[in-house]
Amino acid sequence: MIEVEFRLARPGGFTLECGFAVPARGVTALFGRSGAGKTTIIQAVAGVVRPDAGRIVVDGEVFFDSARGIDVPIEARRVGYVFQDSRLFPHLKVEGNLRYGERRSRAAERRIGFDAVVDLLGIGPLLARRPHTLSGGERQRVAIGRALLAQPRLLLMDEPLAALDGARKAEILPYLERLRDTMGLPILYVSHALDEVLRLADTLVALREGRQVAAGPLAQVMSRPDMLPVLGRFDLGTLLDCEVVRHDAAYGLSTLAFSGGELRVPQVERAVGGKVRARVRARDVAIALAKPEGVSVSNLLPAVVEEVRAQEGPYADIALRVGETQLAAMVTRESVERLGLRPGLPVWAMVKSVAVEGSRPEFLDAGL
């Protein structure tokens, strides 16, 4: 486990308080708006900043414990750090930058090989080039490779895609997925970009103005009502782990199965049997008391109302049970009263659009 619990006061009145324990595997995203405290957390894990009080433990090794007077030096923590800007050495070629990372580790510690990193990140053709000749995405891949070759026990990534345009982000995201899936290295990933988090993360720590809002498995945290201040009302929703069960080439559609049923969406770039992650925004779920007839929306799911949470203003958040899945919906408070929505009531959920990770980043019109 990665255990982080500390308090840190900054000049100017900003105070960061957090406390979470996440698996020492996969990608844990630290998510929130600018100034939430995300970067400060990974700086504390790295040893760049020292908390006022608390403890930091990585896979059983204590990095920091104010009560016991433990503060392991930066170089002894063996963490890899990838910044928003690549920070490559301009006087060294790509291979020289990579070898620099390799030289930071002892030969006996080297479990991640040079050739394996070059292959993983697709940077073989770049080895003889200098950083100024590389694209932004290529520079970041080299920076990741340099961090990996230092043989870290933990990889810290601080907004690694923030300086890239959409095309460069699309170029590097598949490499980050390969890194997540093949290296078995725990990653703390800082981002304020929801699309990156949804595509890469297994676990989510949500922050707002120096306070931890929620922490846990990504799908569970994303559907929590207290995520409203972090996401904004119109990005609240549900994550679904799906399997592609069929393609309809004639209409350009794919059918995705999840634990509560099936969804039809514009065709995704996955073979039948492939896994995808789908996101349904609460605002894109409508509710009917009877199965609708003669409507264009084809994703109609039988559901049961689990909870009705009235909010300030015109809206209410509805938790629906669809098979084994909880689905979030957002309707007006007037609709709650008019339909008589209450826990235990059988209803039909109409899903109007779905975002599918691994196909296209925008929301797909699933109400065809």
- Let me know whether 81 and 126 are in one domain: yes
| Amino acid at site 19 | G
- Let me know whether 127 and 52 are in one domain: yes
- Let me know whether 165 and 277 are in one domain: no
Find the CATH number of the domain harbouring 49.
3.40.50.300
Last residue of a domain, one of 180, 210, 230: 230
- Let me know whether 191 and 83 are in one domain: yes
- Let me know whether 242 and 218 are in one domain: no
Q: What is the pLDDT of residue 357?
A: 60
Distance CA 250, CA 273 (A): 20
> How does DSSP assign 319-336, residue by residue?
EEEETTEEEEEEEEHHHH
- Let me know whether 226 and 246 are in one domain: no
- Let me know whether 217 and 287 are in one domain: no
Q: What is the pLDDT of residue 50?
A: 94
Q: What is the pLDDT of residue 107?
A: 67
- Let me know whether 98 and 47 are in one domain: yes
Last residue of a domain, one of 200, 230, 260: 230
Task: Please state, as a whole number, how many other Cβ atoms lie within 10 Å of the Cβ of residue 130.
Answer: 16
Q: Which pLDDT tens digits describe the chain residue by residue (368 residues)?
A: 999 999 999 887 889 999 999 988 899 999 988 888 999 999 999 999 999 999 999 989 999 999 999 999 998 898 999 988 888 999 999 999 999 888 877 766 777 888 989 998 999 999 999 999 998 889 999 999 999 988 888 999 999 888 888 888 888 888 888 888 888 889 999 998 888 888 889 999 999 999 999 999 888 888 777 787 788 766 788 888 899 999 999 999 999 999 889 999 988 888 999 888 888 988 899 999 999 998 888 899 999 999 998 777 898 989 999 998 989 899 999 999 999 999 999 999 999 878 776 543 344 445 44
Find the CATH number of the domain harbouring 298.
2.40.50.100
Q: Report how many domains make up the chain.
A: 2
Last residue of a domain, one of 180, 211, 230: 230
- Let me know whether 93 and 226 are in one domain: yes
Mark out the alpha helices in the chain (DSSP H runs): 38-46, 74-77, 94-103, 114-121, 136-149, 166-182, 194-200, 218-222, 228-231, 333-339
Range of the domain at 216: 2-230
- Let me know whether 64 and 208 are in one domain: yes
Distance CA 77, CA 131 (A): 28
Token pair belonging to 195: 């699309």
Return the closest-CA partner of residue 287 out of 368, 232, 342.
342
Token pair belonging to 97: 């930058």
- Numbers of helices and strands, H then E, in the chain: 10, 22
Q: What is the pLDDT of residue 361?
A: 37
pTM > 0.85: yes or no? no
- Let me know whether 245 and 223 are in one domain: no
- Let me know whether 223 and 269 are in one domain: no
